[in-house]
Protein backbone atom coordinates (compact mmCIF):
# COMPACT_ATOMS: atom_id res chain seq x y z
CA UNK A 1 0.00 0.00 0.00
CA UNK A 2 1.37 3.44 -0.92
CA UNK A 3 1.90 5.85 1.96
CA UNK A 4 -0.18 8.89 1.02
CA UNK A 5 1.21 10.94 3.91
CA UNK A 6 4.64 10.61 2.31
CA UNK A 7 3.35 11.93 -1.02
CA UNK A 8 1.57 14.77 0.75
CA UNK A 9 4.72 15.69 2.66
CA UNK A 10 6.75 15.80 -0.52
CA UNK A 11 4.42 18.48 -1.85
CA UNK A 12 5.17 20.76 1.10
CA UNK A 13 7.75 23.60 0.98
CA UNK A 14 11.27 22.35 0.35
CA UNK A 15 10.21 19.39 -1.80
CA UNK A 16 10.16 19.03 -5.57
CA UNK A 17 8.49 16.95 -8.26
CA UNK A 18 11.85 15.27 -8.85
CA UNK A 19 11.77 13.94 -5.29
CA UNK A 20 8.31 12.50 -5.85
CA UNK A 21 9.17 10.93 -9.16
CA UNK A 22 12.40 9.46 -7.74
CA UNK A 23 10.53 7.50 -5.09
CA UNK A 24 9.74 3.92 -5.91
CA UNK A 25 6.59 2.08 -4.96
CA UNK A 26 8.66 -0.30 -2.84
CA UNK A 27 10.10 2.62 -0.85
CA UNK A 28 6.65 4.05 -0.22
CA UNK A 29 5.37 0.65 0.79
CA UNK A 30 8.30 0.12 3.14
CA UNK A 31 7.62 3.48 4.81
CA UNK A 32 3.97 2.61 5.29
CA UNK A 33 4.99 -0.40 7.41
CA UNK A 34 7.38 1.55 9.65
CA UNK A 35 6.88 1.17 13.39
CA UNK A 36 7.71 4.69 14.59
CA UNK A 37 8.91 5.98 17.97
CA UNK A 38 5.94 4.69 19.96
CA UNK A 39 5.61 3.08 23.40
CA UNK A 40 5.67 -0.33 21.76
CA UNK A 41 8.74 0.34 19.64
CA UNK A 42 10.56 1.86 22.62
CA UNK A 43 9.82 -1.20 24.74
CA UNK A 44 11.01 -3.50 21.97
CA UNK A 45 14.16 -1.40 21.58
CA UNK A 46 15.20 -1.50 25.25
CA UNK A 47 14.41 -5.22 25.50
CA UNK A 48 17.12 -5.80 22.93
CA UNK A 49 19.76 -3.90 24.92
CA UNK A 50 22.36 -5.28 27.30
CA UNK A 51 22.80 -2.33 29.66
CA UNK A 52 22.85 -1.59 33.41
CA UNK A 53 19.54 -0.71 35.01
CA UNK A 54 20.56 2.92 35.52
CA UNK A 55 21.09 3.31 31.77
CA UNK A 56 17.65 1.88 31.00
CA UNK A 57 16.12 4.17 33.62
CA UNK A 58 17.72 7.18 31.97
CA UNK A 59 16.38 6.08 28.60
CA UNK A 60 12.88 5.80 30.09
CA UNK A 61 13.15 9.32 31.51
CA UNK A 62 14.31 10.63 28.14
CA UNK A 63 11.49 8.84 26.32
CA UNK A 64 8.95 10.42 28.68
CA UNK A 65 10.46 13.82 27.88
CA UNK A 66 10.36 13.00 24.15
CA UNK A 67 6.64 12.22 24.38
CA UNK A 68 5.93 15.39 26.36
CA UNK A 69 7.89 17.79 24.15
CA UNK A 70 6.36 19.18 21.00
CA UNK A 71 7.96 19.23 17.59
CA UNK A 72 9.88 22.50 17.01
CA UNK A 73 8.19 25.07 14.79
CA UNK A 74 8.99 28.37 13.12
CA UNK A 75 7.08 30.13 15.89
CA UNK A 76 10.11 29.55 18.12
CA UNK A 77 13.06 31.92 17.75
CA UNK A 78 15.46 28.95 17.66
CA UNK A 79 13.72 27.60 14.55
CA UNK A 80 12.41 30.77 12.91
CA UNK A 81 14.88 30.54 10.00
CA UNK A 82 14.84 26.74 9.69
CA UNK A 83 11.72 25.25 8.14
CA UNK A 84 11.22 21.57 8.99
CA UNK A 85 7.60 21.23 7.89
CA UNK A 86 8.68 18.70 5.24
CA UNK A 87 10.28 16.55 7.95
CA UNK A 88 8.00 13.79 9.24
CA UNK A 89 9.29 11.85 12.22
CA UNK A 90 6.79 9.06 11.60
CA UNK A 91 8.76 8.00 8.51
CA UNK A 92 11.53 6.68 10.75
CA UNK A 93 11.87 3.99 13.39
CA UNK A 94 14.31 2.91 16.12
CA UNK A 95 17.33 0.83 15.25
CA UNK A 96 16.62 -2.88 15.04
CA UNK A 97 18.85 -5.91 15.38
CA UNK A 98 17.36 -7.15 12.11
CA UNK A 99 18.73 -4.15 10.18
CA UNK A 100 21.46 -5.39 7.91
CA UNK A 101 23.64 -3.41 5.54
CA UNK A 102 24.58 -4.94 2.22
CA UNK A 103 28.02 -6.40 1.62
CA UNK A 104 28.80 -3.54 -0.78
CA UNK A 105 27.86 -0.96 1.87
CA UNK A 106 30.05 -2.64 4.50
CA UNK A 107 32.93 -2.72 2.06
CA UNK A 108 32.42 0.94 1.14
CA UNK A 109 32.53 2.22 4.71
CA UNK A 110 35.42 -0.13 5.56
CA UNK A 111 37.38 1.30 2.64
CA UNK A 112 36.69 4.83 3.87
CA UNK A 113 37.91 3.79 7.31
CA UNK A 114 41.09 2.36 5.78
CA UNK A 115 41.84 5.77 4.27
CA UNK A 116 41.47 7.36 7.70
CA UNK A 117 43.80 4.76 9.20
CA UNK A 118 46.50 5.83 6.74
CA UNK A 119 46.46 9.33 8.17
CA UNK A 120 45.75 8.69 11.81
CA UNK A 121 46.43 5.98 14.40
CA UNK A 122 43.98 3.69 16.16
CA UNK A 123 40.30 4.24 15.43
CA UNK A 124 36.78 2.94 15.15
CA UNK A 125 34.73 2.41 12.00
CA UNK A 126 31.04 1.93 12.63
CA UNK A 127 28.17 1.23 10.25
CA UNK A 128 24.64 1.38 11.60
CA UNK A 129 26.01 1.43 15.12
CA UNK A 130 28.16 -1.68 14.71
CA UNK A 131 31.96 -1.85 14.52
CA UNK A 132 33.02 -2.97 11.02
CA UNK A 133 36.61 -1.82 10.99
CA UNK A 134 39.41 -0.13 12.86
CA UNK A 135 40.17 -1.34 16.38
CA UNK A 136 37.73 -1.67 19.26
CA UNK A 137 40.56 -2.38 21.71
CA UNK A 138 43.27 -0.30 23.34
CA UNK A 139 45.96 -1.85 21.14
CA UNK A 140 48.82 0.59 20.72
CA UNK A 141 47.40 3.09 23.20
CA UNK A 142 49.06 4.15 26.47
CA UNK A 143 48.01 2.25 29.62
CA UNK A 144 44.59 3.21 30.89
CA UNK A 145 43.43 4.84 27.66
CA UNK A 146 40.11 3.55 26.33
CA UNK A 147 38.75 3.91 22.81
CA UNK A 148 35.59 1.81 22.63
CA UNK A 149 32.19 1.76 21.10
CA UNK A 150 29.91 3.47 23.61
CA UNK A 151 27.68 0.39 23.73
CA UNK A 152 30.70 -1.70 24.70
CA UNK A 153 31.92 0.87 27.22
CA UNK A 154 28.59 0.98 29.04
CA UNK A 155 28.96 -2.76 29.67
CA UNK A 156 32.69 -2.89 30.48
CA UNK A 157 33.24 0.37 32.40
CA UNK A 158 29.67 1.25 33.43
CA UNK A 159 30.49 3.52 36.39
CA UNK A 160 32.84 5.64 34.29
CA UNK A 161 30.22 6.08 31.60
CA UNK A 162 27.50 6.68 34.20
CA UNK A 163 29.40 9.66 35.58
CA UNK A 164 29.55 11.55 32.29
CA UNK A 165 26.91 10.29 29.83
CA UNK A 166 24.27 13.00 29.38
CA UNK A 167 24.95 14.41 32.85
CA UNK A 168 27.65 17.06 32.49
CA UNK A 169 27.43 18.45 28.98
CA UNK A 170 24.29 17.78 26.90
CA UNK A 171 20.85 18.22 28.46
CA UNK A 172 18.54 15.50 27.07
CA UNK A 173 15.44 17.53 27.89
CA UNK A 174 16.34 20.68 25.99
CA UNK A 175 14.19 19.80 22.94
CA UNK A 176 12.43 16.88 21.25
CA UNK A 177 15.43 15.81 19.17
CA UNK A 178 17.75 15.77 22.19
CA UNK A 179 15.22 13.64 24.08
CA UNK A 180 14.84 11.34 21.05
CA UNK A 181 18.58 10.86 21.01
CA UNK A 182 18.84 10.20 24.75
CA UNK A 183 16.10 7.56 24.58
CA UNK A 184 17.27 5.77 21.42
CA UNK A 185 21.02 6.39 21.13
CA UNK A 186 22.84 3.50 19.52
CA UNK A 187 26.55 3.01 18.97
CA UNK A 188 28.99 5.88 18.98
CA UNK A 189 32.39 6.18 20.62
CA UNK A 190 33.87 6.55 24.09
CA UNK A 191 37.37 7.97 24.47
CA UNK A 192 38.81 8.11 27.97
CA UNK A 193 42.32 9.37 28.80
CA UNK A 194 43.41 9.10 32.43
CA UNK A 195 45.22 11.74 34.47
CA UNK A 196 48.54 12.90 33.11
CA UNK A 197 48.44 10.61 30.05
CA UNK A 198 49.32 11.89 26.61
CA UNK A 199 48.12 10.18 23.43
CA UNK A 200 50.60 11.30 20.80
CA UNK A 201 49.00 10.14 17.55
CA UNK A 202 45.56 11.37 16.41
CA UNK A 203 42.72 8.85 16.77
CA UNK A 204 39.74 8.54 14.42
CA UNK A 205 36.07 7.62 14.46
CA UNK A 206 34.01 7.07 11.30
CA UNK A 207 30.21 6.88 11.56
CA UNK A 208 28.41 5.33 8.60
CA UNK A 209 24.72 4.87 7.88
CA UNK A 210 23.38 2.42 5.29
CA UNK A 211 20.12 2.06 3.39
CA UNK A 212 19.02 -0.63 5.86
CA UNK A 213 19.08 1.64 8.89
CA UNK A 214 17.75 5.09 7.83
CA UNK A 215 17.96 6.22 11.48
CA UNK A 216 21.15 6.75 13.46
CA UNK A 217 21.56 8.18 16.95
CA UNK A 218 25.27 7.79 17.57
CA UNK A 219 26.78 9.43 20.63
CA UNK A 220 30.39 10.57 21.04
CA UNK A 221 31.69 10.92 24.60
CA UNK A 222 35.26 12.12 25.19
CA UNK A 223 36.69 12.42 28.71
CA UNK A 224 40.18 13.76 29.41
CA UNK A 225 41.21 13.71 33.04
CA UNK A 226 43.55 16.28 34.61
CA UNK A 227 46.65 16.98 32.51
CA UNK A 228 45.72 14.50 29.76
CA UNK A 229 46.16 15.17 26.03
CA UNK A 230 44.51 13.61 22.96
CA UNK A 231 43.25 14.22 19.44
CA UNK A 232 40.12 12.66 17.91
CA UNK A 233 39.00 13.09 14.29
CA UNK A 234 35.39 12.13 13.56
CA UNK A 235 33.65 11.90 10.19
CA UNK A 236 30.17 10.86 9.14
CA UNK A 237 29.22 9.30 5.82
CA UNK A 238 26.21 7.81 4.06
CA UNK A 239 26.68 4.62 2.06
CA UNK A 240 23.15 4.32 0.67
CA UNK A 241 23.44 4.02 -3.13
CA UNK A 242 19.72 4.76 -3.55
CA UNK A 243 20.06 7.95 -1.47
CA UNK A 244 16.95 7.19 0.55
CA UNK A 245 15.69 9.62 3.16
CA UNK A 246 17.48 9.20 6.50
CA UNK A 247 17.60 10.76 9.96
CA UNK A 248 20.54 11.35 12.27
CA UNK A 249 19.80 12.55 15.81
CA UNK A 250 23.19 12.71 17.46
CA UNK A 251 25.15 14.19 20.33
CA UNK A 252 28.75 15.02 21.19
CA UNK A 253 30.02 15.50 24.75
CA UNK A 254 33.59 16.66 25.42
CA UNK A 255 34.87 16.76 29.00
CA UNK A 256 38.26 18.47 29.29
CA UNK A 257 39.79 18.23 32.76
CA UNK A 258 42.06 20.70 34.53
CA UNK A 259 45.16 21.38 32.47
CA UNK A 260 44.09 18.87 29.80
CA UNK A 261 44.37 19.52 26.07
CA UNK A 262 41.94 18.17 23.48
CA UNK A 263 41.83 18.58 19.72
CA UNK A 264 38.51 17.41 18.33
CA UNK A 265 37.46 17.43 14.68
CA UNK A 266 33.91 16.68 13.57
CA UNK A 267 33.23 16.58 9.82
CA UNK A 268 29.55 16.11 8.98
CA UNK A 269 29.11 14.71 5.49
CA UNK A 270 25.81 12.84 5.28
CA UNK A 271 24.24 12.55 1.86
CA UNK A 272 21.75 15.16 0.65
CA UNK A 273 18.72 13.07 1.67
CA UNK A 274 19.63 13.04 5.37
CA UNK A 275 18.08 15.16 8.12
CA UNK A 276 20.75 15.95 10.70
CA UNK A 277 20.02 17.18 14.24
CA UNK A 278 22.81 17.30 16.80
CA UNK A 279 23.51 18.66 20.27
CA UNK A 280 27.22 19.18 20.94
CA UNK A 281 28.77 20.64 24.07
CA UNK A 282 32.25 20.83 25.59
CA UNK A 283 33.03 21.56 29.24
CA UNK A 284 36.55 22.84 29.94
CA UNK A 285 37.98 22.95 33.48
CA UNK A 286 40.70 25.15 35.01
CA UNK A 287 43.64 25.64 32.68
CA UNK A 288 42.21 23.26 30.10
CA UNK A 289 42.50 23.87 26.35
CA UNK A 290 40.23 22.82 23.50
CA UNK A 291 40.61 23.17 19.75
CA UNK A 292 37.33 22.19 18.09
CA UNK A 293 37.07 22.08 14.30
CA UNK A 294 33.75 21.60 12.55
CA UNK A 295 33.09 20.75 8.91
CA UNK A 296 29.52 21.23 7.71
CA UNK A 297 29.35 19.72 4.22
CA UNK A 298 26.50 17.27 3.81
CA UNK A 299 22.85 16.60 4.68
CA UNK A 300 19.58 17.87 3.27
CA UNK A 301 18.99 19.94 6.38
CA UNK A 302 21.14 20.32 9.49
CA UNK A 303 20.34 21.93 12.81
CA UNK A 304 23.36 21.83 15.10
CA UNK A 305 23.87 23.42 18.50
CA UNK A 306 27.57 23.65 19.32
CA UNK A 307 28.47 24.99 22.75
CA UNK A 308 31.65 25.49 24.75
CA UNK A 309 31.48 26.06 28.52
CA UNK A 310 34.66 27.47 30.09
CA UNK A 311 34.06 26.60 33.73
CA UNK A 312 37.52 26.95 35.27
CA UNK A 313 39.92 29.87 35.55
CA UNK A 314 42.36 30.00 32.66
CA UNK A 315 40.32 27.68 30.43
CA UNK A 316 40.54 28.46 26.74
CA UNK A 317 38.93 27.32 23.50
CA UNK A 318 39.43 27.82 19.79
CA UNK A 319 36.54 26.90 17.49
CA UNK A 320 36.97 26.62 13.72
CA UNK A 321 34.11 26.11 11.28
CA UNK A 322 34.16 25.33 7.54
CA UNK A 323 30.79 25.04 5.77
CA UNK A 324 29.97 24.66 2.11
CA UNK A 325 26.52 24.11 0.62
CA UNK A 326 25.14 23.32 -2.82
CA UNK A 327 21.74 22.53 -4.33
CA UNK A 328 18.96 23.24 -1.83
CA UNK A 329 20.92 22.32 1.28
CA UNK A 330 20.05 24.11 4.51
CA UNK A 331 22.60 24.22 7.34
CA UNK A 332 21.82 25.96 10.64
CA UNK A 333 24.66 26.09 13.16
CA UNK A 334 24.04 27.80 16.50
CA UNK A 335 27.21 28.35 18.53
CA UNK A 336 27.59 29.41 22.14
CA UNK A 337 30.68 30.42 24.13
CA UNK A 338 29.90 30.36 27.86
CA UNK A 339 32.42 32.05 30.15
CA UNK A 340 31.68 31.06 33.74
CA UNK A 341 35.09 31.70 35.34
CA UNK A 342 37.67 34.52 35.30
CA UNK A 343 40.65 34.74 32.93
CA UNK A 344 39.06 32.55 30.27
CA UNK A 345 39.37 33.00 26.52
CA UNK A 346 37.47 31.81 23.45
CA UNK A 347 38.10 32.44 19.76
CA UNK A 348 35.54 31.33 17.16
CA UNK A 349 35.83 31.67 13.39
CA UNK A 350 33.21 30.16 11.07
CA UNK A 351 33.53 30.50 7.29
CA UNK A 352 30.94 29.41 4.75
CA UNK A 353 30.58 29.17 0.99
CA UNK A 354 27.15 28.88 -0.64
CA UNK A 355 26.14 27.82 -4.15
CA UNK A 356 22.89 27.29 -6.08
CA UNK A 357 19.76 27.73 -3.89
CA UNK A 358 21.34 26.69 -0.61
CA UNK A 359 21.07 28.50 2.69
CA UNK A 360 23.25 28.76 5.79
CA UNK A 361 22.12 30.14 9.13
CA UNK A 362 24.70 30.89 11.79
CA UNK A 363 23.71 32.31 15.14
CA UNK A 364 26.40 32.88 17.73
CA UNK A 365 26.32 33.92 21.36
CA UNK A 366 29.06 34.91 23.77
CA UNK A 367 27.79 34.66 27.34
CA UNK A 368 29.90 36.08 30.19
CA UNK A 369 28.77 35.34 33.75
CA UNK A 370 28.99 37.93 36.51
CA UNK A 371 32.16 36.57 38.07
CA UNK A 372 34.00 35.90 34.80
CA UNK A 373 36.24 38.97 34.88
CA UNK A 374 39.16 39.28 32.45
CA UNK A 375 37.26 37.28 29.84
CA UNK A 376 38.64 37.56 26.31
CA UNK A 377 36.10 36.35 23.74
CA UNK A 378 35.83 36.69 19.98
CA UNK A 379 33.46 35.36 17.33
CA UNK A 380 33.23 35.94 13.60
CA UNK A 381 31.28 34.47 10.70
CA UNK A 382 32.22 35.16 7.07
CA UNK A 383 30.13 34.04 4.09
CA UNK A 384 31.04 33.84 0.41
CA UNK A 385 27.86 33.73 -1.70
CA UNK A 386 28.46 32.13 -5.10
CA UNK A 387 24.99 32.41 -6.66
CA UNK A 388 22.13 34.87 -6.84
CA UNK A 389 19.71 32.45 -5.17
CA UNK A 390 21.86 31.37 -2.22
CA UNK A 391 21.26 33.03 1.14
CA UNK A 392 23.24 33.43 4.34
CA UNK A 393 21.94 34.62 7.71
CA UNK A 394 24.46 35.64 10.38
CA UNK A 395 23.35 36.67 13.87
CA UNK A 396 26.19 37.29 16.33
CA UNK A 397 25.30 38.10 19.93
CA UNK A 398 26.70 39.12 23.32
CA UNK A 399 25.35 38.70 26.85
CA UNK A 400 27.78 40.21 29.34
CA UNK A 401 27.31 40.51 33.10
CA UNK A 402 30.94 41.22 34.05
CA UNK A 403 32.52 44.69 33.70
CA UNK A 404 36.17 43.92 32.98
CA UNK A 405 36.11 41.95 29.73
CA UNK A 406 37.08 42.16 26.08
CA UNK A 407 34.39 40.71 23.82
CA UNK A 408 34.07 41.33 20.09
CA UNK A 409 32.02 39.85 17.30
CA UNK A 410 31.34 40.33 13.62
CA UNK A 411 29.81 38.89 10.48
CA UNK A 412 30.26 39.47 6.75
CA UNK A 413 28.63 38.28 3.55
CA UNK A 414 29.79 38.99 0.01
CA UNK A 415 30.04 37.71 -3.52
CA UNK A 416 33.01 36.86 -5.73
CA UNK A 417 34.38 40.12 -7.10
CA UNK A 418 33.97 40.24 -10.89
CA UNK A 419 37.06 42.44 -11.15
CA UNK A 420 39.15 39.75 -9.45
CA UNK A 421 37.91 37.18 -11.97
CA UNK A 422 38.59 39.56 -14.86
CA UNK A 423 42.10 40.23 -13.54
CA UNK A 424 42.82 36.50 -13.33
CA UNK A 425 41.40 35.77 -16.79
CA UNK A 426 43.43 38.60 -18.31
CA UNK A 427 46.48 36.65 -17.18
CA UNK A 428 45.41 33.44 -18.83
CA UNK A 429 43.64 31.80 -15.89
CA UNK A 430 40.36 30.06 -16.75
CA UNK A 431 37.22 31.35 -15.02
CA UNK A 432 36.59 28.17 -13.02
CA UNK A 433 40.20 28.07 -11.87
CA UNK A 434 39.97 31.74 -10.88
CA UNK A 435 36.90 31.05 -8.77
CA UNK A 436 38.62 28.07 -7.16
CA UNK A 437 41.59 30.24 -6.22
CA UNK A 438 39.31 32.92 -4.78
CA UNK A 439 37.41 30.36 -2.72
CA UNK A 440 40.66 28.79 -1.54
CA UNK A 441 41.89 32.22 -0.47
CA UNK A 442 38.62 32.92 1.33
CA UNK A 443 38.99 29.80 3.50
CA UNK A 444 42.77 30.12 3.91
CA UNK A 445 42.84 31.77 7.33
CA UNK A 446 40.50 29.22 8.91
CA UNK A 447 42.52 26.36 7.37
CA UNK A 448 45.68 27.89 8.83
CA UNK A 449 44.17 27.77 12.33
CA UNK A 450 43.71 23.98 12.13
CA UNK A 451 46.76 22.30 13.62
CA UNK A 452 46.24 18.93 11.86
CA UNK A 453 47.49 18.99 8.27
CA UNK A 454 45.43 15.95 7.16
CA UNK A 455 42.28 17.75 8.33
CA UNK A 456 43.26 20.83 6.34
CA UNK A 457 43.69 18.63 3.26
CA UNK A 458 40.38 16.89 3.88
CA UNK A 459 38.45 20.16 4.07
CA UNK A 460 40.24 21.69 1.09
CA UNK A 461 39.49 18.62 -1.00
CA UNK A 462 35.85 18.51 0.10
CA UNK A 463 35.27 22.17 -0.78
CA UNK A 464 37.01 21.72 -4.14
CA UNK A 465 34.84 18.69 -4.87
CA UNK A 466 31.65 20.57 -4.06
CA UNK A 467 32.72 23.39 -6.35
CA UNK A 468 32.63 20.71 -9.10
CA UNK A 469 35.37 22.40 -11.02
CA UNK A 470 37.60 19.41 -11.57
CA UNK A 471 35.16 16.59 -10.89
CA UNK A 472 31.79 15.59 -12.26
CA UNK A 473 28.61 16.50 -10.39
CA UNK A 474 27.94 12.84 -9.71
CA UNK A 475 31.37 12.17 -8.24
CA UNK A 476 31.31 15.25 -6.07
CA UNK A 477 27.84 14.82 -4.61
CA UNK A 478 27.61 14.97 -0.82
CA UNK A 479 27.63 11.67 0.99
CA UNK A 480 30.96 10.13 -0.06
CA UNK A 481 33.51 10.35 2.75
CA UNK A 482 35.19 13.76 2.70
CA UNK A 483 38.56 12.14 3.11
CA UNK A 484 38.03 9.92 0.07
CA UNK A 485 36.97 12.87 -2.07
CA UNK A 486 40.04 14.86 -1.07
CA UNK A 487 42.54 12.27 -2.29
Indicate if the pLDDT at residue 362 is higher than 70: yes
- Rounded to an integer, what distance in angstroms lies between the CA atom of residue 393 and that of residue 411? 9
- Rounded to an integer, what distance in angstroms lies between the CA atom of residue 247 and that of residue 137? 29
46 Cβ neighbours under 8 A, 6+ residues apart = 56, 59, 60
- Rounded to an integer, what distance in angstroms lies between the CA atom of residue 431 and that of residue 452? 31
- Rounded to an integer, what distance in angstroms lies between the CA atom of residue 410 and that of residue 397? 9
Mark out the alpha helices in 137-190 (DSSP H runs).
150-156, 158-164, 176-184
pLDDT tens figures, 217-248: 999 999 999 999 999 999 999 987 667 899 99
- Rounded to an integer, what distance in angstroms lies between the CA atom of residue 146 and that of residue 135? 11
Q: What is the pTM assigned to this prediction?
A: 0.88
More confident residue, 289 or 419: 289
Output the pLDDT for position 25: 36
pLDDT tens figures, 154-212: 999 999 999 999 999 999 999 999 999 999 999 899 999 999 999 999 999 999 998 76
Q: Give CA angle at 315 (311, 316), nearest 5°.
A: 120
What mean pLDDT value characterizes the chain? 88
Q: Where are the beta strands (DSSP E) in 98-245?
A: 123-127, 130-134, 146-149, 188-193, 203-209, 215-216, 219-224, 229-238
pLDDT tens figures, 403-449: 999 999 999 999 988 888 888 888 888 888 888 889 999 999 999 99
- Are the CB atoms for 326 and 356 separated by under 8 Å? yes
Backbone angles phi, psi at 443, to 5 degrees: -85, -5
pLDDT tens figures, 2-29: 344 444 444 444 444 444 444 443 343 4
pLDDT tens figures, 390-408: 999 999 999 999 999 999 9
- Rounded to an integer, what distance in angstroms lies between the CA atom of residue 413 and that of residue 406? 24
Amino acid sequence: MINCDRLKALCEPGSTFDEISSMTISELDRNSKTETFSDRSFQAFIEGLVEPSWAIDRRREAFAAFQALGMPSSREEEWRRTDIRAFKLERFAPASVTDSASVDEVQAVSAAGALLSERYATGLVRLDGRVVGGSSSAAGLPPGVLLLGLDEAIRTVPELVRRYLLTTAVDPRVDKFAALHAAFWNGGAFLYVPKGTRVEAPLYHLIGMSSARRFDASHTLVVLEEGAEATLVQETTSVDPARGEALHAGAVELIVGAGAKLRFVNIQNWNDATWHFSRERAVVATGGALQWTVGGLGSRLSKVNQEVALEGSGARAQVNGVMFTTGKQHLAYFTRQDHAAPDTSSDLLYKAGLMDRSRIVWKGMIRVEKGAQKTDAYQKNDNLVLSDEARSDSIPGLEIEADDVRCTHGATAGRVDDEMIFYARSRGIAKNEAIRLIVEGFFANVYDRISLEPVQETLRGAVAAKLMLDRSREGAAAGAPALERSR
